[in-house]
Amino acid sequence: MHVVSTIKELQILLAQHRNNGKNIGFVPTMGALHHGHISLVTQAKNFCAVVVCSIFVNPTQFNNVDDLANYPKTLENDLSILNTVGCDIVFCPEANELYPTKCQLVFDFGHLEQIMEGAFRPGHFNGVGTIVAKFFNIIQPDHAFFGQKDLQQYAIIQLLVNDLSYQVQLHCCAIIREQDGLAMSSRNMRLNEYQRTLAPSIFQSLQTGEKLAQNNTILASIYNQMVDLYLDKNIKLEYYKFVNAEDLTEITTLVKGQKVAICVACYIDDIRLIDNIIFNA
């Protein structure tokens, strides 16, 4: 496994592989790797001869300085995990390699950046769009792999790829969960023992929402029950939304057969967690 920190080194390696006719898969990460990331690398290995994984905590997508400062950093462990799962190249640049000057570019992702994560984390998707566009330009992958846990991020990246004609095939990979249902996330590392006992309620609230929605098409009443559930657990609910799983527009009444996602964001003390579930109404 090659570990490189400059664009130049990375592009030299990629050119050699391309000259040998190999296709390139890309798995972007911010490190603090867990089984969710490993499953992305495994899927990338199924499609591609060469897998590049980036480890970069992208400062421009954090709208909260404490969140950036507290983001877990476990580089040595990450590298040994990637080595065992057969990653070929790890790109871990310093911030000034990717942002030699302050980035001026501003994206407009339309309604996608006005709802849910977009509404609660202003500027977040501009930072995601910027870094993913940079990675796509630098790496020019044939395939790129993202997790469904960040469903709205995936929709933003699809839009970026469509509108800017990136020649990359995107893959939205299933959420990997702990045995008790908690969606794997680098932020879970920050949960103490007590907070960890609360965290499975998040997925339970999604399962309950799905079940209730099968018999109750008026979604406001389900939402009210969920607000009570989160209050009971002392978890601060930021949003719990029923959306059309295709375009992420909010829905208030279910139509039978429709593909629906429930998306949730909440805080357990100062740790922000998100999750979602997709089902057919």
Known catalytic residues are: 37
Residue nearest to ligand PAF (CB): 28
Site for ligand PAF contains 113 (CB under 6 A): no
Compute how many residues bind ligand PAF; rule: CB under 6 A. 10
Distance from C-alpha of 120 to C-alpha of 103, rounded to nearest angstrom: 22
Strand-pairing partners, residue 278, are: 261
From the list 78-86, 102-110, 126-134, 198-206, the region that binds ligand PAF by CB under 6 A is: 126-134
From the list 107-115, 127-135, 173-181, 213-221, the region that binds ligand PAF by CB under 6 A is: 127-135
Q: Which of 232, 15, 36 is nearest to 146 (CA)?
A: 36
Q: Quick one: how far is CA 210 from the chain centroid? A: 22
Minimum Å gap between C-beta 30 and ligand PAF is 4
Q: Are the C-beta atoms of 86 and 41 separated by less than 8 Å?
A: yes
Q: Quick one: how far is CA 256 from the chain centroid? A: 29
C-beta closer to ligand PAF: residue 37 or 233? 37
Residue of 25, 28, 129, 141 that binds ligand PAF (CB under 6 A): 28
Residue of 39, 58, 148, 201 that binds ligand PAF (CB under 6 A): 58
Greatest extent of the chain over all pairs of C-alpha atoms, in Å: 59
- Cβ neighbors of 279 (< 8 A, separation 6 or more) are 210, 213, 259, 260
From the list 23-31, 87-95, 230-238, 250-258, the region that binds ligand PAF by CB under 6 A is: 23-31
Site for ligand PAF contains 116 (CB under 6 A): no
| Consecutive H or E run containing 161 | helix 151-164
Residues that bind ligand PAF (CB under 6 A): 28-30, 58, 61, 128, 131-132, 150, 153
